[in-house]
Amino acid sequence: MKILHTNFHKGWGGQSNRILIVCRELAQRGHEVAIAAPPGSELVRRAQAQGVRTFEEMRFPRGLHPLSLLCDIRAMRTLLLQEKFDIVHTHGSQDAWCAAFALLGMSPRPHLLRTKHNIFPIREHFANRWLYGRMTEKIICISRAVLEYCAAKPYLRRENLVLIHSAVNAELYARGDREKIRKELGLGGHYVAGIVGRLRPEKGHHTLLEAFARLKDRAPDMMLVVCGDGSIFQELSDFAKANAISARMIFTGFRTDIPDILSALDVFILPSLSEGLGTAVLEAGAAGLPIIASNVGGIPDIIEDGASGILVPPTDVSALAEAIKSVYSNPEKAKLLGMAAQRRVRQHFSEKALVDKNESLYQSLINAPE
């Protein structure tokens, strides 16, 4: 098969990671695979480093930019006519619109798919009904919550929705260098809570910092590591200073050594307001960490409350603080939660399962009778 994946993100996150896993492994299975993403994007850089073919002619800018969109459509159409892909698999709104317009009037044309990575609203207007309901043959949903959200749309047929969870390389995240990072960050023998993710409002960093501030006297040896960069860094930094917790916090910025970062933690926390699935939770589970996360989106697909982690209501500072304190105060409980999370990730969220399901879906479309 000849497959093109598209993505508009320039940074790195669960969406980009999933695309790279699928493309890399399908290429190793003998398929012709390529990625179209903005020039200089982190996905392009990592794909090239791992031998996956890339195209950087499309910029996929955010917002309404008619001239840029027309240029991208022309570049995409030229690419599709030249390469004759069997599958075009999109992952975001900008690249999905570009691919759909580029395919207009093309015959024969490749099968168009979309992965829905989140529960951000799909606006109810005729253009989206055309894009999602008519042009896109299958919509892959990364969690049950995403699938049910899509199924509630009257113009989306349930038989065109496919549940394929994201995945993680469990072995990679189980062998981080704990002492290296603890030495680098000056963590010493402190108890360390941490979060990994883009610094954006929907990740719930504000809730975490408020909960941490409440615990500063009840857990005097606890430190907080915030890994990632993004638009709310200054807000978080200002809050930390105003609440006298700066000295017990470390903002690492963007890091590529996430297995090592996770290995340095004693508990992982993700108090998201919205989450398609929660790749960071998968990674923390693979690392064997006890996990505290919001009961939102696809996170309950990963975490069984009380068995393989603790779920709390989003934005509930008191509940989050108590959950952190309960894990901090009970090392045996924390150990059991971490072991259970690791088993669950290995059993249900493997890279092989992710790639097998994508490959099978592609083949079913190609082999379907006309």
Rounded to an integer, what distance in angstroms lies between the CA atom of residue 227 and that of residue 199?
9
Taking residues 129-154, what's their average pLDDT?
Answer: 96
Residue whose structure tokens are 């606006």: 123
From the options 3.40.50.2000, 3.60.40.10, 3.90.245.10, 3.50.50.60, give the CATH code of 170-348: 3.40.50.2000
Residue type, 253: G
Fold of domain 2-167+350-367 = Rossmann fold (3.40.50)
2-167+350-367 and 170-348 in the same fold: yes
pLDDT of residue 144: 95
Residue type, 48: Q
Mean residue pLDDT of the chain comes to 96
Rounded to an integer, what distance in angstroms lies between the CA atom of residue 283 and that of residue 277?
12
Task: With cut-offs at 50, 70 and 90, classify the pLDDT of residue 149.
Answer: very high
User: Is 98's pLDDT higher than 90?
Assistant: yes
Instruction: Please tell me the number of Cα atoms within 13 Å of 205 on its side-chain side.
Output: 27
Task: With cut-offs at 50, 70 and 90, classify the pLDDT of residue 259.
Answer: very high
User: Is 323's pLDDT higher than 90?
Assistant: yes
Taking only the tens place, the pLDDT of each residue in 25-75 is 999 999 999 999 999 999 999 999 999 999 999 999 987 788 999 999 999
H-helix segments, the chain: 14-28, 42-49, 66-83, 93-103, 126-130, 144-151, 170-173, 178-185, 205-214, 233-242, 258-263, 279-286, 299-302, 317-329, 331-348, 351-367
pLDDT of residue 90: 98
- pTM listed for this prediction: 0.86
Residue ranges per structural domain of the chain = 2-167+350-367, 170-348
Go through 262-286 and write b for each residue having 16 or more CB atoms within 10 A of its CB, e for each that does not: bbbbbbbbbbbbbbbbbbbbbbbbb
| Mean pLDDT lowest among 74-88, 122-136, 213-227 | 122-136
Percentage of the chain lying above the pLDDT 70 cut: 100
pLDDT of residue 66: 87
Sheet holding 267-270, edge to edge: 249-253, 222-227, 191-196, 267-270, 291-294, 310-312
User: Is 370's pLDDT higher than 80?
Assistant: no
Apex 131 CA angle, 126 and 133, nearest 5: 80
